[in-house]
Amino acid sequence: MKSILFVCLGNICRSPLAEGIAKKLAPQLQIESCGTGSWHVGESPCLNSVKIASLHGVDISNHKARQITNEDLKNFDYIIALDESNLNDLKDMGATNVTKLGSYGFENKDVPDPYFFSGFEGFEKVYEMIEICLKNLFK
Ligand code: 4NP
């Protein structure tokens, strides 16, 4: 495994966190993230994702959201979706090398979309879920 692309919907909450945590755990790999949607292209990650990452010593503040392209499907060895709907969208695009992050440690559960969370607490849960799955992936 040389390269991994993490994919969520907006590329501003979950997949930038997965990218940041994965880069810390596996610095030898080429790791990126993107979204299936285009609404937030060019934006920085949401403030709560930046905050929870920074509390764990991970800096994702320089990330800029981008949308997945067909080229990505060819260029990355592994594509990892954050939830079932991301997974289905990727399969619809023709991705074959795609799995769901929750399959590495959370009974294949979705990493919940924190975009509409009211408080910060949900982000701690999301961070923990992503970190546990990634630690299992890189074992
Ligand atoms: P993400 O969160 O997929 O974890 O980046 C979302 C960000 C934006 C939207 C949905 C989810 N949105 O609907 O704009």
| 59 tagged catalytic | no
What's this model's pTM, rounded to 2 decimal places? 0.97
Query: Catalytic: which of 8, 34, 46, 133?
Result: 8
pLDDT in tens, 51-76: 999 999 999 999 999 999 999 999 99
pLDDT in tens, 24-33: 999 999 999 9
Q: What is the CA radius of gyration of the chain?
A: 13
The mean pLDDT value for 23-42 works out to 98
For ligand 1, the distance from its centroid to the CA atom of residue 26, given in whole angstroms, is 25
Domains delineated in the chain: 3-137 (3.40.50.2300)
CA-wise closest residue to 34 among 50, 12, 51: 12
For ligand 1, the distance from its centroid to the CA atom of residue 12, given in whole angstroms, is 6
Query: Catalytic: which of 72, 110, 113, 133?
Result: 113
Q: Where are the beta strands (DSSP E) in the chain?
A: 3-8, 30-35, 78-81, 98-100
